[in-house]
Amino acid sequence: FFLNTKTKPFSSQLAREAVVVGLDRNALARLGSGFFVPGCYLLPPPMVGHATKPCPYGNPAVPNLAKAKALVKQSGMEGTPVTVWGEEGSPRQQFIEYYASFLNQIGFKATEKIVARASYFTTIGNLKLNPQTGFADWNQDFPNPVDFYLLLSAAAILPTNNENFGQVDDPEINSQVNKLGQVPTSQLNTIASKWQALDEYTAKKAYAAVFGYQTFPKFMSTRMNYSAAVFHSGSPD
């Protein structure tokens, strides 16, 4: 779920942390028919640069509602109205139903705003609407971490068709994306630790409430060597 860092309540890092800490990722996986692996980092495994350290706010598969409620109170954002944006269609609409209920449970006043699937991303990409939070997903176009992190750089914030939904403008991310993004994909192993450090930094800042990585059923002919197949991981949601 994206979290708008430019407007209340998620301009507060504590409020963002509350979401990350309290999400029931196993419940979301069940809503997605089990095709989600719980996680907290933006970069999906096994991509080079995916952080390998434990998630900074605890086991992502074990929600902590008590801590989430305490963080909301500590943030001073308790009772803040929150519009939760989502798109029509299963299971994404069910994700939003759960998410809005969860936000109410930890101390916000959340209502749902469901948009037709065909126009959803252009709608939340309109900066004039300034959406507070909602469903987002990121898909791999090419096997390089910059493919994901370009969408968290300030350069991606646009008046229309904005894809940095959280409007994240962090000097550390901007600088590292500019530097690391210049390294060719064939040389990624030389800077893997730097991408991992950036992925850890982003998770600590709670810039997005990643709830998992989508997986897909795999069907192959018995005439093919399944053990030799190479599969690429799904997107973080």
Q: Which residue has the higher pLDDT, 29 or 79?
A: 79
The confidence band for 127, taking pLDDT boundaries of 50, 70 and 90, is very high
217 pLDDT above the threshold of 80: no
Question: Residue 235's pLDDT band (boundaries 50, 70, 90)?
Answer: low
- Give the C-alpha separation, 70 to 66, whole Å: 6
pLDDT at 70 over 90: yes
pLDDT band (50, 70, 90) for residue 237 = low
Higher pLDDT, 96 or 231: 96
Task: Please give the helix or strand (H or E) that residue 109 lies within, else none.
Answer: strand 109-115
CA atoms of 214 and 3, how far apart (whole Å) = 20
Mean pLDDT of 92-100: 97
Tokens 């991606």, residue located: 156
Is residue 140 classed as helix, strand or coil in its secondary structure? coil
For the residues 140-149, what does the mean pLDDT come to? 93
Other beta carbons less than 10 A from residue 166's beta carbon? 24
